[in-house]
Structure 1
Amino acid sequence: MASQTTAALQAEVNRLQLQVDTLKAEQGNEHISIGNYILARLAQLGVTNVFGVPGDFNLGFLDLIEDHPTLNWVGNCNELNAAYAADGYARVKEHSIGVVVTTFGVGELSAINGIAGAFSEMVPVLHLVGAPSTSQHAEKPMLHHTLGDGRYDAYIKAAKQVTAFQSLLSNKNDAASQIDRALTESITLARPVYLSLPTDLVHTQISSDRLHIPLSSTPPRNDPSVEAFVIDLIVQRFAEAEGDAIVLVDACAIRHDVRQEINDFLRKTGFPVYAAPMGKTAVDESFERYGGIYLGTITQPDIKEKVESAKLILSVGCLRSDFNTGNFSYNIPIRRTIELHSDHTKVQFATFPAIGMKQLIPKLTERLLFYRASASKIEVPRFIATVPEEAHDIISHTWFWPRVGKFFKPRDVIVTETGTANFGILDVPLPEKSVLVSQVLWGSIGWSVGSALGAALAAQEVGLGRTILFVGDGSLQLTVQELSVMIRLNVKPIIFVLNNSGYTIERYIHGKHRKYNDISNWDWPSLFKVLGDPEEKFSKTYTVHNKQELSQLLEDTTFAQADKIQLVEVIMDKLDAPRALQVQAELSGKTNFYEVAAAV
């Protein structure tokens, strides 16, 4: 607790010092270009790889990136994939951010779907756009990449909808403060931000004084008196429940960096813990008090009973989207719920703004140590996945997911695509210190491919293990170009392509036999030859048609070492899907009223 209080105080001192420097507008003796100021700040935040696509308005800035001693320009096939990669990079490289660089208009709009996904899922990403010069912004000539009507501000207005902060750098006097504010907003709020850098400001010199003061992601201090009242109130609710409580962790426990605090809470108090889909791997899944995934009515019966029968639920960082709650089917009333969030706390029907969980949890831990003996006796279902015995040799989802679960190792980074993979992985225990990267809320088809590139690069930087991607054939066709970047950079993910002849999740929501859910079948084993490795020096492909072939491959030590980029085409039935997806899709289909509309 003392260290957290010290960190919060130091962060506040740093913020105040930056404000003082801004007001004084000091120019100092040491100068740096605006472009290099940005790069210096990124290096301070631990950024090593920068994603994006060259364009005529960002080329001068790309020179600086390429010449920088610690930053690497990745270079993607398109801006959308670059934004996806920056998203995946930020998710794996904690306490840092993802960075994507695009060009004015055509480039930045191509990336905006990826940036919107980062906003939706609370991922810190800097979207830096190379823009026309300040004089061109003032005079508004009919430049290429404009809309032809003089609205140079149209794109920043679009960015305003999907970023937490936006700035068009327009002069040297406040450039440093605008850059610092953007980056601070991103790392504090866990959201993407937008900076537009005109061509003539890239090399403009400014003071480097502010670089001596580090940026901080530490949230503002909780008001001590209000926080003390809230803790007393929560302790009282635990007493009324006689310690019959469970913990439910969700996305914001990961996004807002409280995994250490909540794991410390769980080990010291002994309360059972469960996770929502977006909170998977927030808690070590081999932890003896971890019981699995809670997903409303879709939940496995033994888990559902334990969660919903508890007298009190301590919800940590909940994000109640449809796919994260079993179509809003949680059966845990507000009167039995306490919610901890990054910027507020809810105790039943009362909300306490500006009381954040990062500082509150350690203090709550100390107050609830009393319950360890009784909490440790609350039964927790054993979270295991048994590979079923099936009479056929077809690779079914029921068999596939627990089988590949035995292939995982500690510290693996596992990336799953929207659809079958997101749902299939839920009931599979992941090893100690592994990381799951998935996009449940935004759900952009093809996101996982670019994200896997960013995740693999980040995994190398932070000392994690293999990157393993699960993606459907339909999804991969949307963003397949990024496999060529993986080959060029010599990153070595294992890619399981679930070949089920189209969009399975869409089939289950509606149109099971409709042509619009079909796709062309590609020659997947030949893919790497086309995308940059014609002699297969850096890659290897496989096709598995049945359980025996897949098991043999998973048990192959050379394959498991992942010393090349590897693609495994897994032949599956197009009408097969994980149990959770089938139930969720049925619920979603009913919500969309497709059958009613068809009847009318």
Structure 2
Amino acid sequence: MSIETLQAEVNRLRLQLETLQAKNASEPIEIGNYLLARLAQLKVTKMFGVPGDFNLSFLDLVEDHPTVDWVGNCNELNSAYAADGYARVKEDSIGVVLTTFGVGELSAINGVAGAFSEIVPVLHVVGVPSTEQQSSKALLHHTLGDGRYDAYIKAAENFTISQGIITDKDTAAAHIDRVLADCMTRARPVYLTLPTNLVYEKISSERLKIPLSRAQPPNDPEVEAFVLDEVEKLVQGAEDSVIFLVDACAIRHDARQEVIELVKKTGFPVYVAPMGKTVVPENYERYGGIYMGSVSHPDVKEKVESAKLILSIGSIKSDFNTGNFTYSIPTARTVEFHSDHTKVQHGVFPAVGMKQILPRLTARLGPAARKLEVPAFRAILPTENSDTITHAWLWPRLSKFFQPKDVVVGETGTSNFGLLEVPFPEGAVFVSQLLWGSIGWAVGSTLGAAFAAREIGMNRTMLFIGDGSLQLTVQELSVMLRHGLRPIVFVLNNAGYTIERCIRGPNRKYNDISNWNWTGLLSVLGDAELAVSQSHTVHTKAELSALLDTPSFGDTSKMQLVEVMMQMHDAPRALMFQTEMGAKSNPYNDAI
């Protein structure tokens, strides 16, 4: 057992003892400030949300707090998206969204559900009516008018991994600590209610002396030893015909460094699933690119599927992540490492998590003979006669614009699939929502990602989004301007919902949208004098290349918005392949 894991267990037991003893010797603290103190310990510096009458008393404490800043969003949905993006980039912390009772929390629930789906740690704090009002079932505004004060809690139970319903001051601290620990260790959203009459109630601060930990429970040592023996035998039997396939849960469950150390020590080729892009540095010599079943490039598909042993780490086997379930890696040739179990061929071993077993596997395995060749993952500009900006040309060209430690956010649709096919430089981070796929998510996520990037010393933040998706959540660009963030926003103007056109109805009007004056947007949203922003429209490859090569464009001295004019029915190769397979599996397809 590692020192970190042992200390986490000691602290967990100490907190349980504190709950039983209910010490009151320490300096009293308001319940609201207790929560803020815990968030500060977890390195949270930004809280997203919208003010409402049931959270205003807590907001006074937030605004007065020395390190936790209130951001303030245009709506609750966007605030949940922002908390999601913040947590993805600031991997050792969590995202926090604050809403009011009923109307506010229901507006945020889509964003919270997306974080649940994609395994992102987000705390949803809800300011609720007083305990007396709840007990008497008062006919308050924001209620359903029938006295059901638990209706929203029941809704939240479906989209959060843990709920803390504070009803008295004696158990408030224990509720707060429990949901925060669940949020970190299980990497999913949690829900916490804060009644108006309890925000300023004072409780003991003794528990704050015991830090919360994101460390996973210790593996069963005997089972872990058996699993290590079995994996080592399989690796030896495969005679170095072994590859790694890494996915998003390696990030979500804090195993990125363990993965990189294992990959680099052994030298086995490494590939990633789409949701796992940038888990492994893409300039690493043994990195081969993205594997997504039949959608993969042929050389990647052949290398992965011909390996005698696949060591899969943190996999999420969703449709878009697996090329519409076209993985061809038999269970008999696969070992799967997950956060809370390991699967060796057909055998499942609970309570053997990857965070602890991977370093021990690294110690066991020596460098490989490197018999397997790794296809070069490069961005190659195609030779095209036209100066029209195509997806085949756009993404390789943009990859040359990327710099180390950039944060790149891709929207559901053409942007996500285009960015998957080009390499990122050292330390760059890709942020996407491939499983939940809520269009418009990327704008709010960019807000949170940009804050996190600034805090942890990353480079530029970039957003790639279609004109249709941007119309859903465009207001958050104003929040970015207000807080001095300087992202680079690429708006792909292809006259509507291209991903939907690829799926069905390429010429149907339900996939059309109104065309906006995109280059006038930032002046409307807060920069009337254009003092801190610039906007551009590019129609040709030459115009876009000239802009990308202009030093002042990429130096983040101003927020940049680029309208990229593209053809309506053009799309990245991977997206067209994926949607074609998906359309064939839909029962309505034969009615087209």
Equivalent position to 1:541, from 513, 518, 535: 535
Task: From 18, 38, 45, give the equivalent of 1:21.
Answer: 18
Matched, 1:413 2:410: no
Match of 1:427 among 406, 411, 421: 421
Where does residue 251 of structure 1 map in the other structure? 248
In structure 2, the residue matched to 1:479 is 473
Instruction: State the partner residue of 2:486.
Output: 492
Contact between 2:240 and 2:368, CA under 8 Å: does it hold in 1?
Answer: no
Amino acid at match of 1:272: P
Give, in angstroms, the shift of residue 593 of structure 1. 2.1
Contact 2:381 2:396 in 1 (8 A): yes
Taking the aligned partners of 1:473 and 1:275, their CA distance within structure 2 comes to 29
Q: Matched residues in 1 for 2:6 and 2:26: separation?
A: 29
1:222 matches 2:222? no
State the one-letter code of the partner of 1:85.
A
Change over 3 Å in CA distance of 1:256–1:29 after alignment to 2: closer
Asked if residue 47 in structure 1 is aligned to residue 41 in structure 2, the reply is: no
- Whether 1:336 aligns to 2:333 is yes
C-alpha contact 1:48 1:70 (8 A) present in aligned 2: yes
- Aligned residue for 1:515? 509
- The answer as to 2:459 corresponding to 1:465 is yes
Tell me, yes or no, if the aligned pair for 1:134 and 1:198 is still in contact at 8 Å. Answer: yes
- Whether contact under 8 Å (2:240, 2:371) holds in the other structure is no
Matches within 5 A, 1:443-462: 443-462=437-456
Equivalent-residue separation in structure 2 for 1:34 and 1:170 (angstroms):
12
2:124 is aligned to 127
Deviation at 1:513, TM superposition (A): 0.6
Q: Percent identity?
A: 65
What is the identity, as a one-letter code, of the residue corresponding to 1:561? D
Tell me which residue corresponds to 2:346.
349
Residues 540-589 of structure 1 show CA distances to partners (whole Å, capped at 9, x for unaligned) of 10000000000000000000102111100000001000000001111111
The one-letter code matched in structure 1 to 2:387 is D
1:575 aligns with 2:572: no
1:207 Cα offset (Å): 0.2
CA-to-partner distance for each residue in 1:118-160, whole Å, 9 max, x for gaps? 0000000000000000100100111000000000000010000
Secondary structure at the aligned position of 1:548 is classed as helix
2:54 maps to which of 35, 41, 57: 57
Q: 1:437 aligns with which of 416, 431, 435?
A: 431
Q: C-alpha separation between the residues in 2 aligned to 1:592 and 1:85?
A: 33
The 3 A distance-change label for structure 1 pair 361 and 29 is: closer
Which of the numbers 187, 197, 212 marks the counterpart of 2:209?
Answer: 212
Counterpart for residue 268 of structure 1: 265
Paired residues for 1:111-190 under 5 Å: 111-190=108-187
Task: Report the TM-score, using the length of structure 1 for normalisation.
Answer: 0.98
Question: Given residue 391 of structure 1, which amino acid in structure 2 is its aligned partner?
Answer: N
Give the drift of 1:378.
1.7
Distance (whole Å) between structure 2 residues aligned to residue 595 and residue 251 of structure 1: 31
- Distance in 1 of aligned mates of 2:349 and 2:575: 36
Task: State how far apart, in whole Å, the 2-side matches of 1:113 and 1:592 are.
Answer: 25
Opposite residue 553 of structure 1, the aligned amino acid is L
How far is 1:238 from its partner?
Answer: 1.1
In 2: Cα distance, 1:114 partner to 1:20 partner: 36
Q: Partner of 1:200: helix, strand, or coil? A: coil
Q: Are 1:286 and 2:283 an aligned pair?
A: yes
8 Å contact from structure 2 (residues 112, 159) kept in 1:
yes
SS in structure 1 at match of 2:289 = strand
Q: Secondary structure at the match of 2:375?
A: coil
Judge which range, 11-20 or 582-591, deviates more: 582-591
Q: CA RMSD in A?
A: 0.7
- Cα distance in 2 for partners of 1:527, 1:594 equals 39
CA–CA distance in 1 between the matches of 2:564 and 2:204? 56
SS of 2:2's partner is: helix
Deviation readout 1:137-189 (Å, 9 max, x if unpaired): 10011100000000000001000000001122000111000000000000000
How far apart are residue 538 of structure 1 and its match? 1.1
Q: Secondary structure at the match of 2:320?
A: coil
Whole-angstrom distance in 1 between the partners of 2:93 and 2:18: 24
Superposed displacement of residue 242, structure 1: 1.5
Kept in 1, the 8 Å contact 2:241–2:371? The answer is no
Shift of 1:241: 1.2
| Counterpart code for 2:547 | L
1:368 deviates by 1.2
Secondary structure class of the residue paired with 1:151:
coil
CA distance in 1, matches of 2:247, 2:453: 22
Output the CA distance in 1 between the equivalents of 2:469 and 2:557: 25
Which 5+ residue runs of structure 1 have no aligned equivalent?
Answer: none
Q: Distance in 2 between matches of 1:56 and 1:321?
A: 40
238-247 or 535-544, which deviates more? 238-247
Of 380, 383, 386, the residue aligned with 2:380 is 386
Question: In the alignment, what sits opposite 1:307?
Answer: 304
1:550 corresponds, among 528, 540, 544, to 544
C-alpha distance after superposition, 1:8-60 (max 9, x if no partner): 00000000000000011112231000000000000000000100000000000
Query: Does the 8 A contact of 1:388 with 1:399 survive in 2?
Result: yes
Please say if residues 510 and 594 of structure 1, whose CA atoms lie closer than 8 Å, have aligned partners that are also in contact: no
Q: Is the 8 A contact 2:137 2:147 kept in 1?
A: yes
Give the 3-state SS of the residue equivalent to 1:324 in structure 2.
Answer: helix
Find the counterpart in structure 1 of residue 588 from structure 2. 594
Shift of 1:373: 4.0
Corresponding residue SS for 1:388: coil
How many matched pairs?
592
2:106 equivalent in structure 1:
109
